[in-house]
Structure 1
Amino acid sequence: MEEALRKKWEGLTLIEQESDTMRIEETVLEPLVEKGNRCLLLQLIAERTVNKQAFKTTMSKVWRPEGWIQFKEVGDNRLLAEFQHERDKTKVLQGRPWSFDRNLVCLQELKGHISLQELDFNTEWFWVQAHEMPVASMTREIGRELFSGMVKVVEVETDESGCGWGSSLRARVIVDITKPLIRGRFIKVGGVQNWVPFKYERLPLFCFECGAIIHTKHCQGPNINAKGEQAHQYGPWLRANPPRLGGNDPQRYGGKLNQASNHEQKADSQKWAPSKVAQGGRKSSEEGKGREAMTVETSVLKIVPYRPPEERDHLAQKDPTAGVHQREQKVGSDLPILDEQLSPKREGYTVPEERQKSVELKRERFADEEPLSQDSPLDHPMAVIQGSSKRQLHHGSWT
């Protein structure tokens, strides 16, 4: 078809208006090029036309973007997805491969200088596992050589030292979906040759005869063995389950040196954590110049011995900061305490009659209790809880 169109175009004669070339400046394209950085071109590898509305609804839920996604149909089973945030697009690319109704969804980043029809969908990213490998050969360097038959080896999953010990050696690779899947490879270690089978995570529908995800006309159909039975060269054994989260735990346990290292890491993390609120109920923290201080309100708990009203009045006249008029001035920050906000004015204040009766009943009830000290427990019946908040202070009174 393409060859026929090419020959047809060679035989056309252009008129003057058609042969005139229109030149577009780069500055005109910049806004749309920036918009294209937030777009992806999607191609569903399916032999039939899929339900576009179901696809849009399903994938928008599966991807769970922070912003909106807008879809536009640009061909058969081909859509253009525009993301509100570029980070949502990056998250979708990192989560490949995706599938809808078991059909592969190929992704291509949009390039502003290429038309949508020129983009091909012959490759896709996969995680591949190599099983039954000798333990000593599960390294980053050997992994790159082992998967070199793929279009590209993006990364081999190993630790910091380059060791990939585990149930299998995993690699992030780019696969040519128009060609048969690579089922494995022979390796020779110490004079012994072993077959290392490959398995693909989240593998969608593919042909069990030719082994390609995009079923082409080159497929010769089912293979028949000597017994006249159908024998598949490929099958579901090429599929693998992704590893469980937390399976490769980098944390090291035990050992004095390791514990000291963990304590240092914990101390470093606490260094940048918000400081605890000191007595007084306010905290201020600056995260940058020009930012207003942030205050956090809390309560100050303190046990004070019970004093009769006469003694409290005498102390109040002698020292306004003692007894029931004691106030916590240390607040753990550079912000001053505003008396108008934190402390009610005492002049002209009259205790309600019901409150006076309640206080007298409690005095009579606990008259025989042993006196309080600063070391008395919180549940002592004569304990008085002093609290400070932004609206009211309780100075040694019953609450």
Structure 2
Amino acid sequence: MDDELGLKLGQISIVDAEKLIIDIKEKEVRYSAEECNRRIFGKVIGDKKLNWLGMKRTMGLLWRMGNALEIREFSNNYFQFLFPNQEALEKVDMGRCWIFENQYLILQPWPSFNDLTVWVQAHGVPINWMSSDVGLKIGMAFMDIKNLMLAKAGFKGSRILRLQVSLDVRKPIPRWTSIRLGEKIVTVQFKYEKLVSLCFYCGILGHMDKNCPIRKEAIAKKDLKDGQYGEWLKATEGVNISESPPPSTTSEPITNKSNERNIKVKSR
């Protein structure tokens, strides 16, 4: 029960009609329950309002459903995707990093939109420290690590670790972390693949500098500082990066099975 409503109920008298508990039957919610099994929710992480009709056309083509896909906008940049059946829904990779009109689109089976899955490159790890164990420890800088890729020695990008991680979109993205072996400490810089909609002032995804509430507050207080984030956080090189797919409405992990070892990671 809502806290405010609970407080009010504790302060007022309740008449007989308000004490009534109305029973509902399984068959009366069957249709809604079945529809929920065919539905996912989406949130656009960005400050530009999207045209849901354009999204319906684009996502319908990408998911090969055409007009069978229904999209309903229930709030600003919040959407419901209704699929014709459970099988069609299961074909959609909700763990994938989707991008629509240069903004992130988070898909969830229920509207909890704080987690975004992205690919990050870890630069600066000494070649003799390269291992899956070290990669997993570097991944501790993030909310969760889902996947890890090590380039084989001798290939371009063999000094780069690629991590598939979860970001909390309410917080600034990590720019670096430090690792230590004995008395030697090394700073590892993070570069994000297909990074969009990053505020260079506060480091939070979903808006640009001019719309940053933290920056606006700093201006009002006459305490504006230089931004601590920038283009240097975008990955421009890596393992066979020149062979990656061209930018499009969607983003998918860049992989080359001949040059990388893929280590699946269990969620913490």
Q: TM-score, normalised by structure 2?
A: 0.70
Q: Deviations over 1:29-63 (max 9, x none)?
A: 56644442332101122334322212222232344
Q: CA deviation at 1:94?
A: 5.0
Q: Deviations over 1:184-206 (max 9, x none)?
A: 11112453322111122222202
| Kept after mapping to 2: 8 A contact 1:43/1:121 | yes
| Kept after mapping to 1: 8 A contact 2:180/2:186 | yes
Say which SS state the counterpart of residue 142 (structure 2) adopts. Answer: coil
CA distance in 2, matches of 1:71, 1:204: 24
Match of 1:366 in 2: none
Change (3 A) 1:17 1:55: farther
Match of 1:73 in 2: 73
CA distance in 2, matches of 1:26, 1:129: 49
Say which SS state the counterpart of residue 49 (structure 1) adopts. Answer: coil
The amino acid that maps onto 2:130 is: M
Say which SS state the counterpart of residue 174 (structure 1) adopts. Answer: strand
1:247-262 correspondence runs (5 A):
247-249=256-258
| Kept after mapping to 1: 8 A contact 2:202/2:212 | no
Q: CA deviation at 1:128?
A: 1.5
| Kept after mapping to 2: 8 A contact 1:223/1:232 | no
Match of 1:36 in 2: 36
CA distance in 1, matches of 2:6, 2:51: 35
Alignment of 1:234 with 2:196, yes or no, is no
Alignment of 1:10 with 2:10, yes or no, is no
- CA RMSD in angstroms comes to 3.6
Q: TM-score, normalised by structure 1?
A: 0.49
The amino acid that maps onto 2:232 is: W
The amino acid that maps onto 2:96 is: R
Q: How many residues are paired up?
A: 232
Identity of aligned residues (%): 27
| Kept after mapping to 1: 8 A contact 2:39/2:80 | yes
| Kept after mapping to 2: 8 A contact 1:209/1:222 | no
Say which SS state the counterpart of residue 141 (structure 2) adopts. Answer: coil
Q: Deviations over 1:98-149 (max 9, x none)?
A: 1222222121113xxxxxxxx3311111111111212233322221211112
Q: Give the structure with the higher percent strand.
A: 2
Alignment of 1:140 with 2:132, yes or no, is yes
Q: Deviations over 1:245-274 (max 9, x none)?
A: 6634169xxxxxxxxxxxxxxxxxxxxxxx
Change (3 A) 1:167 1:16: farther
Q: Deviations over 1:341-387 (max 9, x none)?
A: xxxxxxxxxxxxxxxxxxxxxxxxxxxxxxxxxxxxxxxxxxxxxxx
Higher relative contact order by CA 8 Å / sep ≥ 6: 1 or 2? 2
**1:151 is matched with which residue: 119, 123, 143?**
143
CA distance in 1, matches of 2:22, 2:8: 23
CA distance in 1, matches of 2:179, 2:205: 26
Q: CA deviation at 1:26?
A: 5.7
- Greater C-alpha Rg: 1
Structure 1 runs of 4+ aligned residues shifted over 6 Å read: none
